[in-house]
Structure 1
Amino acid sequence: MSTAFATQPSRRLPGDLFIWYIILLEGATFGVLFLAFAFTRLGHLELFNESQRQLDVGTGAVNTALLLTASWCVARAVLAVRDGQRGTGLGWLGAGMAGGLGFVALKLLEYADKGAQGIGLSTNLFFDFYFILTGFHLLHVLAGLLALGLCGLGLVRQRRGAMNAHALETAAAFWHLVDLLWLVLFPLVYVLR
């Protein structure tokens, strides 16, 4: 029985341990913002419901699909790099980044549409939260894209026999946090009434 335990590989968190501290901190920060939104909404239910109707749920749903697909592609990239398949890994990574860039483009179009309607950060309490939450999330998407792009450059520069997925695992862990945050943010801000 003891030999069975000895032959099993030890489980570890993927990526650098420091990224997990960042993930916990960012998760807690967004958690506080989500709670503040929910409690403020209770006190201003009619305003929040009326303002929420001005959001395009379809665009939010497309952005959700883009981020979920991007995360799946990034996970496939990690698996490919672990298997020493640099070209395949770079292809999946590029597809994941394309999904993230699609998210950014749609979010910027959504902001432009709100601006054209005269809706901004100080329009009302709902839109204060909307722009703060989605803007803070957008900054995380951009940071994730930067990290993934740097990992892609690192993969191109690695020697074929010395493939190392550690940096990509680290960036992927952060990218999955970005995805998870959107999976809470989208229904909370766009859908729940």
Structure 2
Amino acid sequence: MGDQPPPTHADAGDKIPGDVGIWVFVLGDMSVFSVLFCLYLYYRGQQPLLYAAAQASLSTGFGLVDTVTLLTSSWCVAQAVHALHRQFTARARRFLLFGIGCGALFVCCKLLEYTLKLNAGITPATSEFYSFYYVLTGLHFVHTVIGMIVLAFMARASRTPGQSTLIAIDSGATYWHMVDVLWIMIFTLLYLLR
């Protein structure tokens, strides 16, 4: 009995990972983005040619790099949670730090993309499409920066394993995965949808 690791809340059956409060926040946040996505699709449907012309000026390469970077980061966070549940704290910290690095790469790529657009004279006032582009990617950018701060707190908290730490780590991971899901939706709508 003494050789077995203590049971974690993930072993308790049907309990969702993390604190219930993070799920309330995630559902609320996803609802706000869903309204913005629906508005984008509605207005795009009103002027498909204008939206398609503006969309053609986006770099799918930037969007693809951003997507791969965030997917890699989410994988790292999932590996960190897995490691921490098995009390491999050093491994969990390494994965979290790599996840933060991927988030930083995403932020740098997005800043470069914004700089190129602004230098070319493309602002939120350029077109309705670019109003949506800057609002959706800007809100997501803020979520990403907050998520990187959350990952840094997770890395620090992982040094003191325990039940409350596991709940906090699961909650932070839930937020980070939401950031990833939101980006996939944004990438699909702004960069890929024709």
Aligned length: 183
Letter in 1 for 2:103: G
Measured after TM superposition, the shift of residue 154 of structure 1 is 1.8
The one-letter code matched in structure 1 to 2:181 is: L
> What are structure 2's unaligned runs of at least 5 residues?
1-10
Which AA in structure 1 matches 2:120? Q
* RMSD after superposition: 1.3
- Equivalent residue for 1:62, pick from 62, 65, 71: 65
Displacement after TM superposition at 1:96 (Å):
1.0
Q: Which segment drifts farther, 163-172 or 98-107?
A: 163-172
Shift of 1:191: 1.0
Match of 1:50 among 19, 30, 53: 53
| Structure 1 residue aligned with 2:175 | 174
Aligned to 2:7: none
Matched, 1:135 2:141: no
Q: Percent identity?
A: 36
Deviation per CA, 1:150-185: give whole Å up to 9, x if none.
1112223x2x6x473221110000000111111111
Aligned letter for 1:154?
A: A
Q: What amino acid sits opposite 1:21 in the alignment?
A: V
CA distance in 2, matches of 1:32, 1:167: 29
1:151 counterpart = 2:151: no
CA distance in 2, matches of 1:152, 1:74: 10
Deviation readout 1:124-145 (Å, 9 max, x if unpaired): 1000000000000111111111
In the other structure, the counterpart of 1:113 is 116
Q: Does 1:74 align with 2:45?
A: no
The counterpart of 2:23, out of the listed 20, 25, 44, is 20
Match of 1:192? 193
Could you tell me which of 95, 99, 102 is aligned with 1:99?
102
Aligned partners of 1:79, 1:155: CA distance in 2, in Å? 12
Aligned-partner Cα distance in 2 for 1:9–1:120: 51
Match of 2:42 among 39, 44, 48: 39
Q: Structure 2: how far apart are the matches of 1:12 and 1:69?
A: 26
Q: Deviations over 1:24-79 (max 9, x none)?
A: 00110000000000000011111100100110001100100001010000000001
Per the TM alignment, residue 9 of structure 1 is displaced from its structure 2 partner at its CA by 4.2
Find runs of 4+ consecutive structure 1 residues off by over 4 angstroms. none
The question of 1:125 aligning with 2:131 is answered no
Q: Give the Cα separation in 1 of the matches to 2:48 and 2:108.
A: 30
Matches within 5 A, 1:2-21: 9-21=12-24
The amino acid that maps onto 1:171 is G
